[in-house]
Chains A and B, each alone.
Chain A
Amino acid sequence: VTGIDLAFGAASLVAVGSAALAVTRRNPVYSAAWMMSALFALAVIFALLESQFLAVVQVLLYAGAILVLFVFVIMLLNPDKKALAQDRPPGWLRALAGVFSAAILVAIARGIFGSEGAAGAAFSAPGAPRPHAGFGEIEWFGRTLYDTDLLAFELVSLLIMAAIAGAVFLGKRRLEGAGERGEDEEEREAPGSRAAAGTGPLREPARPAEEIRVHAR
C-alpha cells in the first residue's frame, strides 16, 4: 500500500459519500454543494490515473461551468419549503429504486471481478508498467485530438452549436399550450392586436387553436 493507494481510497470515499448525499438531500442547493465535492474527488482520481488534462477540465467544466449553471437555475426557480416537501416519493418507490440500482451494481461487479486479469497489478505498484511520458498531458491531448480524432472534435462543435440554439430558444420564449394558467392569462393579448401591430412572425391571424403559439416575451 503506497501513498497513491491511500489517496485513491480517500478520494473514492469522498466521491461515494458526497454522491450519496447529493442524491438524497431534499434541498437542491445542498445537492449541488455535495455534487461539487464529488466532482472534485473524481478530478483527484483522474489526476491519479495520469490524465492531468482531464482532471483540469473536470474542475473547470463540471465543478465550474455546469454546477454554476445548476446553482443559477436553483436561485432562479427559488423553490420554497412547501414545494420541496413534495419531493417525498412513497416508500415503495424508493425501495424499488434501491433494489434496481443494487441490481445494476451487482451485475457490473460480477462482470468486473469475474473477468480474468481483473486482479492485475496495481497501477501504483513500484515496478508496474506506466504509460509513455507525456501521456494525458495537454500536448499529447491536442495532438491526438486534432490528428486522429478530428472528425469527432468537429462534430462536437456542431452539437454545441445546436445545444446553444435550443437553449436560447427554450429560454427566451414562452410556449403556451392548451392549459394556460395563472399569470399567463394576464399577458395574453387580445386577438388581432399583434396582427394589427404587424410585427414578427405571428402576423397571420386565425391560427388553429391546437397549434402551440409562441409569444416573444
Chain B
Amino acid sequence: VFTLANCLFLSAVLFAIGAFGVLARRNLLVVLMSVEIMLNAANLALVAFSRYYAAGGAPLAGRHAIEAGAGSALARAGGGQIFVLMSMAVAACEVAVGLALLIAVFRTNRSVMSVDLGEMRG
C-alpha cells in the first residue's frame, strides 16, 4: 500500500542498488549512472516526506527514527520538493562535469575502466 514507510523503503532499495553499482562496477560510465540512481533514491525520500508533512503528518519518532527537526527546512510543508529541485540541478552539474572528466580520462588512457587508472595511485 501507498504509505510513507513503503515509499521510504523503495527509496532505500534503490539506494542500495545504486551503491552496489558504484562498488562493483569498473566501467566509470556505469558508476556515474549508479550515482544518479542513488541521487534519485534520495529525491524519492524527500518527495515522500514532503507529501507526508504537507498533509499534516506528525514527525516520526522512535529509537531508530528518521527525524527532521521541527524547524528544519525538511519539516516545512513542501520544503522537500524545493530541495529535490536543487538536488536535480546539482545532479545535472555533476553529470556534465563527470562526463567531461571521463572524456578527459579516456583521451589520456584510452579506457574508461577504473582499474586502468592505477597511475593515480600515490
Which residues on A are within 8 Å of B, measured CB to CB? 1, 4-5, 8, 12, 15-16, 19-20, 22-25, 28, 31-32, 35, 38-39, 42, 45-46, 48-51, 53-54, 57-58, 61-62, 65-66, 69-70, 73-74, 76-77, 79, 83-84, 86-89, 93-94, 96-98, 100-102, 104-105, 108-124, 128-132, 135-136, 140-141, 144-145, 148-149, 152, 156, 159-160, 162-164, 166-171, 174-177, 179-182, 184
Q: Which residues of A contact B47 (CB under 8 A)?
A: 45-46, 49, 51, 54
Given A16-B14, A101-B20, the answer on whether A119 and B3 have CB atoms closer than 8 Å is yes
Given A98-B24, A114-B65, A116-B61, the answer on whether A83 and B113 have CB atoms closer than 8 Å is yes
Partner of B62, one of A4, A16, A114: A114
Given A35-B36, A49-B7, A100-B19, the answer on whether A135 and B78 have CB atoms closer than 8 Å is yes
Partner of B81, one of A38, A121, A136: A136
A-B CB proximity, top 4 nearest: A163-B93, A97-B23, A23-B21, A131-B54
List 16 A-B pairs, Cβ < 8 Å: A16-B17, A42-B43, A50-B51, A66-B91, A66-B92, A70-B33, A108-B15, A112-B9, A112-B12, A112-B66, A120-B5, A124-B2, A131-B51, A159-B90, A163-B96, A179-B119
Q: Which residues of B contact A65 (CB under 8 A)?
A: 92
Which residues on B are within 8 Å of A, measured CB to CB? 1-10, 12-21, 23-27, 29-30, 32-34, 36-37, 40, 43-44, 47-48, 50-52, 54-58, 60-66, 77-78, 81-82, 84-86, 88-97, 99-104, 106-108, 110-113, 115-116, 119
Q: Which residues of B contact A15 (CB under 8 A)?
A: 10, 14
Q: Which residues of B contact A42 (CB under 8 A)?
A: 40, 43-44
Report the Cα distance A100→B89, complex, angstroms: 29
Q: Which residues of A contact B106 (CB under 8 A)?
A: 77
Given A54-B85, A114-B64, A123-B55, the answer on whether A86 and B26 have CB atoms closer than 8 Å is yes
Q: Which residues of A contact B111 (CB under 8 A)?
A: 83, 86
B contacts with A: majority SS: helix
Report the Cα distance A118→B49, complex, angstroms: 11
Partner of A104, one of B1, B19, B100: B19
Given A130-B55, A136-B81, the answer on whether A170 and B100 have CB atoms closer than 8 Å is yes
* Contact yes or no, A160 B89, CB < 8 A: yes
Q: Which residues of A contact B93 (CB under 8 A)?
A: 159-160, 162-163
B98 to chain A, nearest CB (A): 9
* Contact yes or no, B16 A170, CB < 8 A: no
* Contact yes or no, A117 B60, CB < 8 A: yes
Report the Cα distance A170→B95, complex, angstroms: 13
> Nearest CB to that of A45 among chain B residues?
B44
* Contact yes or no, A156 B86, CB < 8 A: yes
Partner of B24, one of A50, A89, A123: A89
